[in-house]
Every structure is written in structure tokens, then in C-alpha cells.
């Protein structure tokens, strides 16, 4: 379910009204969140809903989480739940966590599938089925109605100007290729996809240390898992965290270039900030070069702000970073020197 709302800006002297409006909007969002059905998006609530039962947890991931092929650990537990899709590794991380939280021993195994089984896995590729009901009762509908300030008609893609431009571009491209006597060769990418997805991940679990390990294959749907013997060539398994070399990582750093005559000199504003992408779900990340001349309550005109600003302060997640400020000529000054 997707809903749209809008927030109207105001004139310079309406700061109090803006502040009040944002508070009202925030209260509406808070009320809406109170009526979200947590059993849809929170793994702990799903555990309770499924009675901490291993079979039901395995069935849930196989039936509710779509397989999508990509490399590495990208979405993590919360991202996979929210998107209702993931590759074999992300799905295995989700299932292993829930099984561990249910009181079982669970670990992630990795190995290689045969070409035939890789094709089977790729054949299950699907778009995620987003839950249509994410709220609880009348309270959710009322909170949603209060939040949505204006109705938006559904957009019919084929009737938009963007679609018309898209069709015109296709026609122009086809004409150019035809005029140039160019023919696009069809290429079968099946084997390439197979090779890229032979590396496979699944979950091994047991009820106690004396029990034997059982295999669970969350990435394969329930039908294939129940009717086909899935036997990947085991390479190793992970106890605890997934090794760093499987992680997608986000790196944020900041530089400016100072013009010196006809040359440019680069200055670092912020040291690299690197985190696994899978750990960043629901985390707001912000970077700004805050102008020194801005006063929140009376400045909304960008030109005036720039005229009044003598320097800019690199700010990451609300905090000053790098220990330096810079001006419009690209000159850097230590923040400590500014305070002397």
C-alpha cells in the first residue's frame, strides 16, 4: 500500500505556523505507526505469530519472500522483510536469525549448485508480493485518512507524457539503427546467469547440540523444496556473523576543489565513513555544508543566505566533521582557529 501526502511551505514570517504544522504532521505519523501491524514487518512479532515453530518459519520465508538474484549481503534481516524479497544469502540470514531466536541452533552454509539446480533456482525469480494489509483495524484507517491531506488519482503509465517520450525515443532509436544498417544480435545470457548464481547459501539448524544438522533452503520455493532433492556442494558454513567480504558497503566521504589559477587543488572535508549496507535499514543519513549565515527562523532566501555566509561547515548526521570550514574560494580554516 502506498499513500501520498503533501506539506505546504509558507512565507518568511510564518515560521510559527510552519513549526506548528510540522508538529501536527509528526503527531499524525506517530499515531499511524501505533496502528501498524508489527507481525508484518518485525521478525520478533513473526516469531510469536508462528509459535516459534521451525517448520512454520521455514515455510514463511519460502512462501512470502521472493527470490531475486544479486551478489552478496545487501538487505539484511529488516530489509529483506520490508522488501519481501532477497537473494539466497539475505534470505538465509533472515531465516537463521529467526531460528536462533526461536531457541534452535542455526548457521549459514555456502556451496555450489549444479547447473541444473541453478536454473531451477533462477526459474523461481519473481517480483515481491507486498502485503496489502499492514494496519490493524479501524484505528489504522482513521489515522491514514487524517494523514492524507489530499487525494491522488492513480497514474495510468501509458497515458503520461513520460510514456509518450519513451515511445518516441524507441521509434527514433529504431530509425537510426535502420538507417545505419545496424542489426542488434540476440544473445542468450542463460549460461552467464548460471555461472553468476552457482554460489549458493542455505541454512542448517538443529534443536540441540547432540542433534544432527538439518538443511533448510529458503531461496527455493516450497514446491521445489518438497519435491526435489537439493544437494549443493558444501564449501563451508558461518557460525555467527557473515564474513565481511560478502557485505555490500556504503562509503561516504567529502571533498572540495579549490581553483588556483587554471589548476584545481582537492581538499578533504570528511574522512571516509564506511558501513555495511545491510545494517543501515531505517537509518537516516545526512550530509550538508551548513552556511554560517543561516538563521532558521527568518532566512529562506538562498541568495540572502549566501551573501551573509562567510564560510560553510561540513556536517554529517547532524554533527560537525573534518575539523575544518571553508569559504566560497575553497580556502579551509581549522574550526579551532575560528573559535580563538
Q: What is the pLDDT of residue 9?
A: 43
| Long-range contacts from 240-247, C-beta under 8 angstroms, 24+ separation | 242/73, 242/89, 242/93, 242/108, 244/276, 246/72, 246/73, 246/89, 247/72, 247/73, 247/276, 247/277, 247/278
Give the CA angle between residues 322, 327, 328 to the nearest 5°.
130
CA–CA gap between residue 149 and residue 171 (Å, rounded): 40
CA–CA gap between residue 25 and residue 149 (Å, rounded): 10
First-residue to last-residue Cα distance in the chain? 55
Strand pairing class (199-206; 105-112) = antiparallel
Domain boundaries, the chain: 1-152+194-240, 249-339
Q: Cell numbers of 114, please?
A: 549444479
Quick: pLDDT tens for 18-37: 667 778 778 887 777 777 77
Q: What is the pLDDT of residue 5?
A: 44
Q: What is the pLDDT of residue 4?
A: 42
CATH architecture of 1-152+194-240: Roll (3.10)
Task: Give percent helix, percent strand, percent coil of the chain, each to the nearest 5.
Answer: 40, 25, 35
Mean model confidence pLDDT for the chain: 86
CB 69 within 8 A of CB 193: yes
CA–CA gap between residue 98 and residue 92 (Å, rounded): 10
Mean pLDDT by 10 residues, the chain (340 residues): 43 60 79 76 92 97 95 96 95 98 97 95 85 72 68 70 89 89 82 93 95 96 88 91 95 93 92 96 90 67 76 92 89 77
CB 89 within 8 A of CB 246: yes
| Count of positions (residues) in the chain | 340
Which residues partner with 260 through β-bridges?
263
Q: What is the pLDDT of residue 152?
A: 56
Q: What is the pLDDT of residue 48?
A: 94
Quick: pLDDT tens for 215-228: 999 999 988 888 88
Amino acid at each position: 500500500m502506498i499513500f501520498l501526502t503533501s506539506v505546504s511551505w509558507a512565507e518568511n514570517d510564518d515560521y510559527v505556523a510552519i513549526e506548528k504544522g510540522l508538529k501536527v504532521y509528526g503527531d499524525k505519523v506517530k499515531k499511524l505507526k501505533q496502528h501498524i501491524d508489527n507481525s508484518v514487518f518485525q521478525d520478533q512479532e513473526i516469531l510469536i505469530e508462528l509459535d516459534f515453530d521451525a517448520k512454520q518459519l521455514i515455510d514463511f520465508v519460502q512462501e512470502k519472500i521472493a527470490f531475486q538474484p544479486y551478489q552478496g549481503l545487501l538487505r539484511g534481516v529488516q530489509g529483506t522483510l520490508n522488501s519481501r524479497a532477497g537473494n539466497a544469502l539475505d534470505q538465509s540470514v533472515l531465516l537463521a536469525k529467526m531460528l536462533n531466536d526461536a531457541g534452535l541452533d542455526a548457521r549459514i552454509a555456502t556451496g555450489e549448485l549444479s547447473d541444473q539446480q541453478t536454473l531451477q533456482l533462477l526459474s523461481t525469480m519473481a517480483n515481491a508480493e507486498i502485503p496489502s494489509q499492514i494496519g490493524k483495524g479501524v484505528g489504522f484507517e482513521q489515522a491514514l485518512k487524517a494523514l492524507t491531506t489530499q487525494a491522488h488519482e492513480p497514474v495510468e503509465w501509458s497515458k503520461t507524457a513520460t510514456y509518450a517520450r519513451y515511445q518516441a525515443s524507441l521509434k527514433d532509436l529504431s530509425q537510426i539503427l535502420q538507417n545505419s544498417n545496424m542489426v542488434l544480435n540476440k544473445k542468450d545470457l542463460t549460461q552467464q546467469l548460471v555461472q553468476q548464481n552457482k554460489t549458493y547459501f542455505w541454512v542448517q539448524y538443529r534443536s540441540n547440540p547432540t542433534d544432527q544438522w538439518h538443511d533448510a533452503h529458503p531461496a527455493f520455493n516450497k514446491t521445489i523444496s518438497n519435491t526435489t532433492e537439493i544437494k549443493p556442494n558444501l564449501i563451508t558454513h558461518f557460525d555467527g556473523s557473515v564474513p565481511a567480504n560478502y557485505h555490500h558497503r556504503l562509503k561516504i566521504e567529502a571533498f572540495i576543489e579549490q581553483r588556483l589559477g587554471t589548476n584545481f587543488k582537492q581538499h578533504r572535508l570528511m574522512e571516509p565513513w564506511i558501513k555495511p549496507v545491510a545494517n543501515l535499514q531505517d537509518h537516516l543519513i545526512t550530509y550538508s555544508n551548513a552556511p554560517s549565515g543561516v538563521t532558521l527562523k527568518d532566512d529562506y532566501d538562498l541568495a540572502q543566505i549566501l551573501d551573509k555566509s562567510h564560510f560553510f561547515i561540513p556536517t554529517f548526521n547532524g554533527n560537525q566533521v573534518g575539523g575544518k570550514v571553508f569559504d566560497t574560494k575553497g580556502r579551509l580554516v581549522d574550526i579551532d582557529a575560528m573559535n580563538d
